[in-house]
Structure 1
Amino acid sequence: MKGSADNASFAKEYLSELTSTIGKVDLSGVDAAIEALIEAHGRGSKIFTAGNGGSSATASHIVCDFNKGISSTLDKKFEMICLSDSIPMLTAIANDVEYGEIFVRYLMGRMKKGDILILISGSGNSENIIRAADYAKNIGCKVIGFTGYDGGKLYKKADINIHFPLEDMQKAEDAHMIFLHLIARAVAKRLGVTMC
């Protein structure tokens, strides 16, 4: 039974740090992200998402929530695209050019001024994420950054920051998903739809 008690103690500690950090998040970034996404939808702009590893899965997940969950009953649909969903495209760019270019090369010719780029990175320092942020900003697009740790370079570059100062990749990823769901639900409510 000692193992079970240790597991319960670990779970309590894990959840305590996660919930404590979530409770301290600056909600001005959340508010700004919600407004930016609603405005992008109103003007018909595209919204791109990207991340590496677990953050890539989060970037893909939120696209499903917007393109299906929110857009199902809307006449005017969200056009959200996850840059890490096309494995052939990513591996071709990584193999033929370099891994640091996988998101920028995907954006070239597809991203237009006024579009939005949501970048999810625990460290905030991944080279392909930083290059994508630079590219988007250079052509007049807004960057929303989800970060952990100290926020890294992405925190300094993003127009809107949703930052979790957690020195733990898994907890940062947990927090990113929670707040992306929160944002999706808030956007749905503002647009008068129920997510499904």
Structure 2
Amino acid sequence: MRRKLKNKTVPTKMYKKMEKQIFNEISESIKIIEKTTSLIPEISIAVKMIVNAIKTGNKIIIFGNGGSAADAQHIAAELIGRFQKERKSYPALALTTDSSVITSLGNDYSFDVIFSRQCESLVVKNDVVVGISTSGNSINVIKGLETAKENGATTISLVGNKGGKMKDVSDVTIIIDSESTAKIQEAQRIIYHIICKFVEEKISET
């Protein structure tokens, strides 16, 4: 038996089980996202930190590996460009975009220092530095946060898996209650969109 779906004919038996699995995946994502309501205090503090930094002429620096690198660039783009409001550009920088810097540091030193070495020269007192990791244990992200703190920055971590080691080197840690990399990333994207929304709103109020 076959059925039509948007002008495509698909075998019903083949896809019936998969459709149930898709439903379960969506349901699981919803459950994890619903649990992030417990993180409202941490999200609110992160918004205040970023707003204060921008108001005082400081910048936001973000980094992570793999999918988290893409998220770092996404956040920087929302701040430099716009999220929902027409407004002045906010100073933000993702440390994951310069392939020459990253590969030279990885080659000449170690992949472990690709963020800390950049933080050493780019981060100044009262900047806000955001580290992203689903495990919370990415060595290069931890080292970057440590160097940022040494330079006088305040630090935010977006993590999963109970926070890992990053929770010990961050001023604010936003921990997604999941061990699934994909589910953690899904929830993190909702959270940083919320942060960008309220950063815009709070700065626009003044």
- Please list, as runs of the form range in 1=range in 2, the aligned pairs for 1:31-42 lying within 5 A after superposition: 31-42=44-55
The question of whether the paired residues in 2 share the 8 Å contact of 1:151 and 1:165 is answered with no
Equivalents in 2 of 1:27, 1:72: separation in Å? 22
**Quick one: which amino acid aligns to residue 120 of structure 1?**
I
Equivalents in 2 of 1:165, 1:97: separation in Å? 34
Q: What whole-Å deviation, never above 9, does each CA across 1:82-124 have from its counterpart, x for those lacking one?
A: 0011111100100011000000111122110100111110001
How many pairs were matched up?
Answer: 192
Equivalents in 1 of 2:150, 2:84: separation in Å? 29
Equivalents in 2 of 1:126, 1:116: separation in Å? 19
2:40 counterpart residue number: 27
2:143 counterpart residue number: 131
| Cα distance change, pair 70–98 in 1 and its aligned pair in 2 (3 A) | same
Equivalents in 1 of 2:173, 2:115: separation in Å? 20
For residue 7 of structure 1, report the CA deviation from its aligned partner.
2.3
The question of whether the paired residues in 2 share the 8 Å contact of 1:144 and 1:161 is answered with yes
Say whether residues 1:164 and 2:180 are aligned partners: no
Say whether residues 1:97 and 2:109 are aligned partners: yes
**Quick one: which amino acid aligns to residue 155 of structure 2?**
V
For residue 190 of structure 1, report the CA deviation from its aligned partner.
2.0
Say whether residues 1:119 and 2:131 are aligned partners: yes
Secondary structure class of the residue paired with 1:109: helix
- Which ranges of structure 1 fall in alignment gaps of 5 or more residues? none
Say whether residues 1:84 and 2:96 are aligned partners: yes
Q: What whole-Å deviation, never above 9, does each CA across 1:56-84 have from its counterpart, x for those lacking one?
A: 00000111111001598434x31100001
Equivalents in 2 of 1:187, 1:38: separation in Å? 6
Say whether residues 1:180 and 2:192 are aligned partners: yes
- Please list, as runs of the form range in 1=range in 2, the aligned pairs for 1:147-162 lying within 5 A after superposition: 147-162=159-174
TM-score by length of 2: 0.88
TM-score by length of 1: 0.92
Equivalents in 2 of 1:3, 1:162: separation in Å? 40
For residue 150 of structure 1, report the CA deviation from its aligned partner.
2.0
For residue 43 of structure 1, report the CA deviation from its aligned partner.
0.2
Asked which structure has the greater CA Rg, the reply is 2
For residue 169 of structure 1, report the CA deviation from its aligned partner.
0.4
**Quick one: which amino acid aligns to residue 58 of structure 2?**
S
- RMSD between aligned residues: 1.7
Say whether residues 1:51 and 2:64 are aligned partners: yes
Say whether residues 1:140 and 2:185 are aligned partners: no
Of 2, 19, 26, 2:13 maps to 2
